[in-house]
Structure 1
Amino acid sequence: MGEVLVLAARGLCGGLFVMAFALIGELVMPKQFAGIFSAAPSVALAGMTITMAVNGAVPVAESAFGMIAGAIALVAYCASAVPLVTRLGATVGTVAALAAWAATATVCRVLLTVVG
């Protein structure tokens, strides 16, 4: 029953954060920024809030480090994808950009683990 309550709390908390971030998205100009303030940050914050309440700070810190590494890796993927796809074609360029993402995520995760 405890797992069901945690799952329900995550859903409720996630919904509240999504609504709050959607409101922020409606208030910002230009509207292209609305997506930044919608799903991803709110779901991450909701998950971290419930994890903090149930398991404490250590798992939240680990999640935060993973999110930081993933965000840096996503920037590396986006920055490398267009030139690689242009030069190498869609399939090979995408695989190369994905390799850049994986390498960046791995390095960032290791470095953030050492620092944290």
Structure 2
Amino acid sequence: MILRIIRKFSSAHKLPNYDGDCANLHGHTWKAVFEIEGPVRECGMVYDFKQLKPMLDCVLPDHKFLNDIYPNPTAENLCQALFDKTAAMLEEKNLKLKTLEIWENEDCASVIRKP
């Protein structure tokens, strides 16, 4: 079974060595779409959404300056870093992160899908 959970967070960044406006400090309200796989347990749930949402929120760099955390905080690099961190956390719960989409705005996203 796959669970899909959407979370939002706000952060600022600037892209080093970028020739364009994104080299300047700017911010986004990002959307993170998590697809999490696991077996349906006897209780009828893979995992309680009420418990999953705050766990996922702890991974997201809400109200942070991304350059303080990642040397080149592109959407692609952010997606990879958040995927790795989230996947490790979910493995401890016997869950598997299948897909992570990081939407920079309503039109542009980076996506990682694992088999």
Higher relative contact order (CA 8 A, sep 6+): 2
TM-score above 0.5: no
Larger Rg: 1
Structure with greater helix share of residues: 1
Structure with greater strand share of residues: 2
TM-score by length of 2: 0.30
